[in-house]
Structure 1
Amino acid sequence: MATVRIIDSLSKIDAESWNACALQADSGHNPFVSHEFLRALEASGCATAETGWLGQHIIIEDNDRVIGVMPLYLKSHSYGEYVFDHSWANAYERAGGRYYPKLQSSVPFSPVTSPRLMVHPAADRQETGRLLTRAAIQRCQDLDLSSLHVTFAPEDEWQLMADCGMLQRQDQQFHWLNDGYQSFDDFLAALSSRKRKNIRKERREALSGGVTIERLTGKEITEEHWDHYFSFYMDTANRKWGRPYLNREFFSRLGESLADRILLVMCRRAGHYMAGALNLVGDDTLYGRYWGAIEDHRFLHFEVCYYQAIDYAIEKDLAKVEAGAQGEHKLARGYVPSKTYSAHWIGDESFREAIDRFLRQERGQVEGEMDFLEHFTPFKKG
């Protein structure tokens, strides 16, 4: 008989047991759901009860062996999620309900598609996935919460959760897909002449002010690099979001535990670092995360975040680059519309029906927008 256990911190499960479920051979290594990444968020104080992310992680055990895990948080707000439900919260509370707290299964502050129903290779994937889903719904009911939200899930998990009674939501991001390119020029050859010329121009101008690029990974990354990078992150976060989610300690912990899965792209000018971008490396995907700069150079953001990522993915034979949420400007740079998936369980029946109607309409709109945007990709037609 499988048993369910709820833990409020990743410190209460060993990394080996968690990673045996999270980092499966069939889906490849995704660093965002690793024990090391999620634990760094907690231990640094970024994702804790004080910041509105209280762990409610689900552990499924069979004969004292962990066969399934699910990252789960009790949330007192909807920040740091990137699948927006603020209008739902406002509507529910105007009707006299209490939307917060809610349950949220995601990687805090990272709009990255990655497993949520994580199953040990020796266990039945479908059955254990259902157990995890039902346990999350049961936790929501036990705590008398308004809702459960599972965001940026893979499509197969999204379908399984729908079979368990959760509502389905779709959105889109822009991902670069590797069509067997052997070099960046090989990729450019697949684009229309005008787009190809524009990208070459942007790459030249990005470095025209004496900027040089360094790619760092593993032991090459020092605390001094993190000091510089954090200053870039803070400058951009304060201007763009108003409140940075991550602190300096998080990056040190990340460097200690996942150094070989980090690609830090740093920019120098006049002997000083002045911009940089953090990427995490999966088995088949490069995940672009945070960019920051303390100097303004035209097109440098595109070079560091998009073109350097494509270069690296081609060199390492990675299938895809995910460069974060939103951003139709990525379209002209070879990133194409790609679906993202989330699932939602709503406790109140009438509210659930209203959300269901909204999601059905929204899915149609997303499909229509993606079909429309496909006409504007930079690739040669036909």
Structure 2
Amino acid sequence: MTEPNVRIAGSAAGIPAEAWGELAAPGDPFLNADFLRILEASGVVAPETGWQPLHLLATEDNRVVGLLPLYLKSHSHGDFIYDWSWRPVWESFGRDYYPRLISGVPYTPVAGPRLLVAPRSADAGAVRRALIRAAQALVAGQGWSSWHVALAAADDVATLEAAGLLVSHDVQFHWADAGFGDFDGFLQSFSAEKRRKVRAERRRAAQSGLRIEVRHGGEIRADEWPALHALYRSTFERFGNHAAFSAECLAALAAALDERMVVFTAADGEVPVALSLCFRSADTLFGRYWGASRAVDSLHFELCFYRGIDYCLREGLVRFEPGAGGEHKIARGFVPQRVRSAHWIPDPAIRRIVAPHLARQAAGVAAYRDDAARHLPFRRAG
């Protein structure tokens, strides 16, 4: 078989919509013809903000059969590699760590496929190998430090590891439906003490006097987004961080994604005072952003966790991934899960330093995951 050709697409908009339709999983809220295009067109993801699109397209007979989302990054913000401590290693060898390449979804700590292959491809393995070799060649040809694949799906991790990439580990907390039926059914899986605590939190949120509702992106008017965006922005400002998305970008995403965006809000009269912004696929809800203009007892848990579980049970979604970090999720029934990223480091001397670090990290993450699981609120068998 002829090796697939690989070329660079300088923008997500430059990838034909029909190709996205074949490459992306149906209903994926992030890797689709809209999400990356809107982020890039709005300037959220652009060379000026440290994200230069260099997406790799594999073609057979001039038809797109593979895609590797790829960005040249001049910093480590928003890609969830957590590699801030790696820069001094390169500098100790007289090398620059930035820029480096990243494959993943900007500002989105969601694991999923990164080596996208169209079903019509004659040899999916050959397409994946061609995309990997092209990324490695790009690093070598430009003299860049490394290439990272953030939060890759299990199949991709195996393929990338076989191609010589190192693997890092992390833990996220996910909810899964075990046939609960409704929220009360879910709570029946808790111990009595933990069940009482959740009910008390939900009661305090209900007694706040705020109107809580859920809407999909297409149900939110464009003129509502400035107020909702102010809530989103407030969380970042509180911690001295940058809110990457603009109100216009969120409005454009809402209009394009429609039911793939899910927004939980609490309002005092007609004034929104809190927001939990989520996305969804055909079977999973993804929590992304929280913001509030004032502190309300237990409202964060209600909007970010309990309403999301309610939504999943009502809509038939089987998983809820509420975002990175947050040990407080354990007591609310979110189970620790391993997630992995992959790293191509061409310099053998630097690789020899990073590899044992990642091996120790894997053992530490596994121990942490096991320890966290011992604190889950579920009733114990027997």
Cα distance per residue 1:338-380 (max 9 Å; x no partner): 1111000012111101111100110000111111111111111
Q: Which amino acid aligns with 1:126?
A: G
Equivalent pair of 1:30/1:114 in contact (CA under 8 Å): no
Instruction: Give RMSD over aligned pairs.
Output: 1.2
- 2:324 is paired with a residue whose SS is coil
Partner of 2:152: 153
* In structure 1, C-alpha distance between the alignment counterparts of 2:287 and 2:260, rounded to whole Å: 12
Cα distance per residue 1:83-104 (max 9 Å; x no partner): 2111111221133111111000
- 1:142 is paired with a residue whose SS is helix
Partner of 2:360: 361
1:35–1:45 Cα change, 3 Å: same
1:57 matches 2:63: no
Partner of 2:227: 228
* In structure 2, C-alpha distance between the alignment counterparts of 1:92 and 1:367, rounded to whole Å: 27
1:184 matches 2:191: no
Partner of 1:33: 31
TM-score, length basis structure 2: 0.96
Partner of 1:331: 330
Partner of 1:44: 42
Deviates more, 1:313-322 or 1:238-247: 238-247
Deviates more, 1:283-292 or 1:271-280: 271-280
Partner of 1:119: 117
Q: Which amino acid aligns with 2:92?
A: R
Deviates more, 1:282-291 or 1:232-241: 232-241
1:280 matches 2:282: no
* In structure 1, C-alpha distance between the alignment counterparts of 2:186 and 2:371, rounded to whole Å: 23
Structure 1 moving runs of 4+ over 6 Å: none
Shift in Å, 1:241:
4.4
1:102 matches 2:100: yes
Cα distance per residue 1:11-33 (max 9 Å; x no partner): 2122221231122xxxx532111
Shift in Å, 1:134:
1.6
Count of paired positions: 378
Cα distance per residue 1:135-178 (max 9 Å; x no partner): 11111111111100001111110011000110011111000111
Equivalent pair of 2:148/2:342 in contact (CA under 8 Å): yes
Partner of 1:82: 80
Shift in Å, 1:127:
2.5
Deviates more, 1:133-142 or 1:365-374: 133-142
Q: Give ranges in structure 1 of 5+ residues lacking alignment.
A: none
Partner of 2:236: 237
Q: Which amino acid aligns with 1:166?
A: L
1:241–1:106 Cα change, 3 Å: farther
Cα distance per residue 1:242-273 (max 9 Å; x no partner): 21111122112102211121111111124421
1:21 matches 2:44: no
Partner of 2:130: 131
Cα distance per residue 1:277-321 (max 9 Å; x no partner): 111110110001111111110110110010011000111111100
* In structure 1, C-alpha distance between the alignment counterparts of 2:182 and 2:360, rounded to whole Å: 41
1:171 matches 2:170: yes
* In structure 2, C-alpha distance between the alignment counterparts of 1:198 and 1:275, rounded to whole Å: 22
* In structure 2, C-alpha distance between the alignment counterparts of 1:362 and 1:57, rounded to whole Å: 30
1:49–1:260 Cα change, 3 Å: same
Q: Give ranges in structure 2 of 5+ residues lacking alignment.
A: none
* In structure 2, C-alpha distance between the alignment counterparts of 1:69 and 1:260, rounded to whole Å: 25
1:314 matches 2:313: yes
Cα distance per residue 1:104-126 (max 9 Å; x no partner): 00111111112110010122333
Deviates more, 1:54-63 or 1:119-128: 119-128
Within 5 Å, give how 1:179-258 maps onto structure 2.
179-258=178-257
* In structure 1, C-alpha distance between the alignment counterparts of 2:124 and 2:238, rounded to whole Å: 44
Equivalent pair of 1:145/1:347 in contact (CA under 8 Å): no
- 1:250 is paired with a residue whose SS is helix
Equivalent pair of 1:32/1:114 in contact (CA under 8 Å): no
Equivalent pair of 2:29/2:281 in contact (CA under 8 Å): yes
Q: Which amino acid aligns with 2:49?
A: T
Equivalent pair of 2:211/2:269 in contact (CA under 8 Å): no
Equivalent pair of 2:147/2:345 in contact (CA under 8 Å): yes
Equivalent pair of 2:13/2:33 in contact (CA under 8 Å): no
* In structure 2, C-alpha distance between the alignment counterparts of 1:39 and 1:57, rounded to whole Å: 12
Partner of 1:298: 297
Equivalent pair of 1:288/1:322 in contact (CA under 8 Å): yes
Deviates more, 1:123-132 or 1:92-101: 123-132
Q: Which amino acid aligns with 1:293?
A: A
- 1:169 is paired with a residue whose SS is strand
Partner of 2:259: 260
Q: Which amino acid aligns with 1:20?
A: E
* In structure 2, C-alpha distance between the alignment counterparts of 1:131 and 1:193, rounded to whole Å: 54
Partner of 1:343: 342
Equivalent pair of 1:105/1:151 in contact (CA under 8 Å): yes
Equivalent pair of 2:218/2:257 in contact (CA under 8 Å): no
Partner of 2:91: 93
Cα distance per residue 1:38-84 (max 9 Å; x no partner): 11110000000000000010000000111000110001111111221
Shift in Å, 1:218:
4.6
Q: Percent identity?
A: 39
Q: Which amino acid aligns with 2:257?
A: L
* In structure 1, C-alpha distance between the alignment counterparts of 2:207 and 2:119, rounded to whole Å: 51
* In structure 1, C-alpha distance between the alignment counterparts of 2:16 and 2:349, rounded to whole Å: 42
